Amino acid sequence: MSKQERPIACVGVVCRRGDDVLLVKRGREPLKGKWSIPGGKMDFGETVREAALRELKEETGVEARITRLIDVVDSVMGDRHYVLIDFEAEWISGEPEAADDADAAEFVAVEEAMQRVSWDETRRVITPA
């Protein structure tokens, strides 16, 4: 695989329901089998907010309302560079059910999320403001 020429735009969603946060277990590389927040690559013509809500719905079946932009994070893994635009969202409806490229999806307490998530940047964006 050749080195990519430009970063890939991606979105992530820290979806909160009360004091809990929604996590997914990744079903594909990169980081297959690891717990993270729902998210993925943007589609051409989508706004970042549209992409975030689409990815959330596709991976978990959950609907939410975006409440704020948390941060923009760079992730360079091997020959791939991702720009991750992370939003906070408030749960509206739906019980988490893994779909698309997620192997599992569930709301967990923030303390539990901190134990499951392996990347420090994801832990940081999950931490309540």
pLDDT of residue 39: 95
pLDDT of residue 4: 77
Question: Domains in the chain and their CATH numbers?
Answer: 8-126 (3.90.79.10)
Residue 60 near residue 22, CB atoms below 8 Å? yes
State the distance between the two ends of the chain, measured CA to CA, in whole angstroms: 39
User: Is 0.85 surpassed by the pTM of this model?
Assistant: yes
* pLDDT tens, residue by residue, 15-50: 999 999 999 999 888 788 999 999 999 999 999 999
